[in-house]
Structure 1
Amino acid sequence: MTRDNLDSGRPHPLDNSVHSALTGPHAHFALRRGNVLRYPSDVSPFMALPDSPDDADWADVAALAGPGGVAGLTGRTVEPPDGWEVVTRAALLQLVDDGVAAAPDEEAVRLTSADVPEMLALAERTKPGPFLPRTIEMGAYLGIRHSGRLVAMAGERLRLPGWTEISGVCTDAGWRGRGLGTRLVLAVAAGIRERGERPFLHVLASNTNAVRLYESLGFRLHRTTTLVLTRPPAEPPSR
């Protein structure tokens, strides 16, 4: 699989993936204020900033976050202004498909809005990252059930031109070590490939076990970025 379009040094949709999604395949979700875009708060906490945000852009982030709200931001250098609370700051690895053995899974079922209560409960128990009441609308989610109970899931989050992110990968504690998460990742990747797109994903750099697993499946590191969850001051600056 060629890497030329990724490693040429030219701008690429993955460089600002949230912005690429909200101005591309996920434009129907986009809420805009000035140069700042965000997903609805019950879909995803992520916002997209310009590459070099100014004071007006940060005022727009505050307005879109709302009183007490948290903005999810990613980028090589994300530094909120003085007075903003940094709830979380973490190194984030962006991994891309570099020969993943994508394959459907006979046991994986497509999850629907009727499954959201169980999905929310599973995400609450396993903490795979932000999963909200309307996150399922971002793409296809697959699950594995045993005795009728949802025990593992994975799905699609950011959709960019030519690319779709795999996310929400989680397995209930009692079912770990059986390869369910791996099977679901490969099944979701197969669905992405069927559309002629390429899978990618984000993982915390500190989650070394997950990084090793994804690399063993055929993902490779594309770039290191920063995840920042930040809360604006109680009284944000006026625009």
Structure 2
Amino acid sequence: MSAQKPTIVLVHGAFADSSSWNGVVDKLKSHGYPVVAASNPLRGLTSDAAHVRQLVSSIDGPVVLAGHSYGGSVISNAATGLDNVKALVFAAAFLPEEGESAVTLSGKFPGSTLGEALRPVPVTLPNGSQVADLYIEQSKFHAQFAADVPEETTTIMASTQRPVTDAALAEGASAPAWKSIPSWVVVATEDQNIPHQTQIFMAERAKATVVTVTSSHAVSVSRPGDVARAINEAAQATA
């Protein structure tokens, strides 16, 4: 009898939604994996991670948890102490140490132009706190986020992007799951959000298996086959 295939849980990052994983989902399902593309609230790191943690805890059997961009911070928080999570995959994503934020890491090495492309919108959260929802200016979305994706696609992505709060990006991480769970990192060499050098630094610090691809930040959209292969490798290596 063959071993149970793990459920692959995919967590999108800021300025995206679950549909950013569509190409990856298609590849994984063709190999027989059950897949869930989670909806990441993008409101605050602790609360976002708790949301994903509850989803993962509801799944019977082993899980491979993958995150893109800010979703990397979320999965690293969410997976700590969950015995059913067998591997983590970070696709052009943050792997924060305890106390580090996405803002801190994106500025660790030069190269990110995200700050210049953002449009803040003041909002009040249900608890009464005042934050800013951050959007990428639609006219800058293609060049900033997904330069290797056809413009007819990025026009739609820009219009449907989900904002992240400035508080979420500035919130420090809790104890990271990558210290105890085997990790794979897909490094995007042409990333304008998280500098290539930052991605390498985080991957090496985590002693992760590294897959390097020539891609924009939107690696799950432009290179879904490469991302799916990394997830498949992680699933097989930890079976």
Q: TM-score range by the shorter chain?
A: under 0.3
Q: Which has the higher contact order (CA 8 A, sep 6+)?
A: 1
TM-score by length of 1: 0.26
TM-score (norm 2): 0.26
Larger radius of gyration: 1
Tell me which protein shows more strand as a share of its residues: 1
